[in-house]
Copies of this chain bind each other. A is one copy, B any other.
Amino acid sequence: MKRLILATLLLAASAFPQGRGPQLVSPEVGADRTITLRYNAPNAKAVTANGELDGKPHPMTKDANGIWSVKIGPLAPDIYTYSFNADGVVALDPRNTNTKYGYGNFGPVSVVEVPGDTPQFYDTKDVAHGEVRILPYVSKTLGLNRTLWIYTPAGYDKGKNYPVLYLLHGAGDIESGWTMIGRANNILDNLIAEKKAKPMVVVMPLGHTIQSFWTGPAKSAPAPGQQPPSQLSPFANDLLNDVMPLVEKNYKVSNKPSQRAIAGLSMGGMQTMNIAFNKPELFTEVGIMSAGVANVDQTYADFFKTASEKTKHWKNLWVAIGKDDALMINNAKALDEALKAKNIKHEMRITEGRHEWTVWRHHLNELAPKLFR
């Protein structure tokens, strides 16, 4: 059977004009935690490997057969994304089937995990496992078909009245992001198994106002036109008017603000501010990762005017940023300053890292244990 399947695989591969080029091994992860990348591009003049590797582009070297390669690292155990740039054209690693969905200018990228000596906090371990449930819904707010990805912890079927975290992805991702590259379910499974986090439901919506890829043809909601940046965005209205009622009707979650948190990274962090600063009464815990906006106190002037009053029921306002996050460090620090200026209780957490998933898995691993205590 095995031989027959292999023979069929090879036959199938040759039956299609999509041949993936020579049977290179790429990526190759060494026992010393180096990553060797190889790419067949005989006509290219210059090829680099780029991504969440060590923050630098890596020029590759061509051999006599037109195969470009580079050895990177050793790198710390982690999950890295990368792509090739051949004379300005971006390509995934055609020999690597581990892919990350991407959005817009970010596009899909290749993924490689460098293992640790033991399973890491984001790996599946031999503990009780929750599920991630993909639920299609028709958004009345946006007029689009979308899916929600919802983590339910182990034992959910017998439990009730779970606290709920709304967890928002960044501009380069879609609703699968927090599960497939963020490993939110593994992180929660492991924290809950070790009793470091409370069992909770985590709702992961699609942050772009588009139709979900696996629900129907590509389609976007009309752009909202000019609106004050502090006003609830179309995404926020979908979350508040479609998603939250659907979740509270169909899942065993509390509808009390004391049992409701919202957090997000990058674009999702800005959406978190947009929602939590406009509707502070709906939440008790707020996490803003790798995000901020310029002149936050003016942008959200209404909120900041009486913020310490409006947020006095908040138990956690957590602002986290990688110290090498060139994109957002200034905005995050400005947010910290604005909150301090108004005596709004919060934690400012500056971690290792840049503006990438190697940071956000750690952030979730730090945030989840704080919630619903």
Which residues of A are in contact with B by a Cβ distance under 8 Å? 1-5, 8-13, 15-21, 29, 40-45, 48, 50-51, 57, 83, 85-92, 94-95, 97-99, 101-109, 111-115, 119, 123-126, 129, 131-138, 145, 147, 157, 171-172, 174, 179-181, 183, 185-186, 189, 212-218, 223-224, 227, 229-231, 233-234, 266-267, 270-271, 274, 293-294, 299, 326-327, 355
Residue among A3, A40, A90, A138 with most chain B CB within 10 A: A90
Contact check: which of B3, B102, B123, B230 meets A97 at CB < 8 Å?
Answer: B102
CA distance A19 to B125 in the complex (A): 36
Does the CB pair A97–B89 fall under 8 Å? no
Does the CB pair B171–A40 fall under 8 Å? no
Does the CB pair B185–A105 fall under 8 Å? no
Contacts of A98 in B (CB 8 A): 213, 218
CA distance A20 to B104 in the complex (A): 9
Contacts of A214 in B (CB 8 A): 179-181, 183, 186
What are 23 contact pairs spanning A and B, CB under 8 A?
A1-B274, A5-B271, A12-B105, A12-B171, A12-B327, A13-B106, A15-B327, A16-B106, A43-B87, A91-B94, A92-B107, A97-B101, A97-B104, A97-B174, A99-B108, A108-B108, A124-B145, A129-B137, A131-B133, A133-B133, A133-B134, A134-B134, A134-B185
CA distance A212 to B10 in the complex (A): 22
Which residue of chain B has the shortest Cβ distance to A225 in the bound complex?
A: B2
Does the CB pair B20–A229 fall under 8 Å? no
Does the CB pair A133–B136 fall under 8 Å? no
Does the CB pair A29–B89 fall under 8 Å? no
Contacts of A3 in B (CB 8 A): 229
Q: Which 9 A-B pairs have the closest CB atoms?
A: A13-B105, A124-B215, A115-B217, A124-B145, A131-B133, A132-B134, A113-B217, A124-B136, A123-B216
Contacts of A131 in B (CB 8 A): 133-135
Does the CB pair B1–A111 fall under 8 Å? no
Which residue of chain B has the shortest Cβ distance to A103 in the bound complex?
A: B97
CA distance A148 to B12 in the complex (A): 25
User: Smallest distance from the beta carbon of A51 to chain B beta carbons, Å?
Assistant: 7
Does the CB pair B355–A21 fall under 8 Å? no
Contacts of A327 in B (CB 8 A): 8, 11-12, 15
Which residue of chain B has the shortest Cβ distance to A112 in the bound complex?
A: B218
User: Smallest distance from the beta carbon of A59 to chain B beta carbons, Å?
Assistant: 11
Contacts of A11 in B (CB 8 A): 327
Does the CB pair A4–B92 fall under 8 Å? no
Contact check: which of B41, B135, B180, B326 meets A129 at CB < 8 Å?
Answer: B135
CA distance A12 to B102 in the complex (A): 13
User: Smallest distance from the beta carbon of A177 to chain B beta carbons, Å?
Assistant: 11
CA distance A41 to B219 in the complex (A): 27
Which residue of chain B has the shortest Cβ distance to A48 in the bound complex?
A: B17
CA distance A227 to B48 in the complex (A): 44
User: Smallest distance from the beta carbon of A271 to chain B beta carbons, Å?
Assistant: 8
Residue among A42, A104, A326 with most chain B CB within 10 A: A104
Does the CB pair A129–B123 fall under 8 Å? no
CA distance A138 to B16 in the complex (A): 34
Does the CB pair A97–B107 fall under 8 Å? yes
Given contacts A95-B107, A98-B213, A132-B133, 11 further A-B contacts (CB under 8 A): A1-B227, A4-B293, A5-B270, A5-B271, A13-B104, A91-B92, A97-B108, A115-B216, A124-B216, A134-B134, A186-B214
User: Would A4 and B270 be within 8 Å (CB), given that A89-B21, A145-B123 are in contact?
Assistant: yes
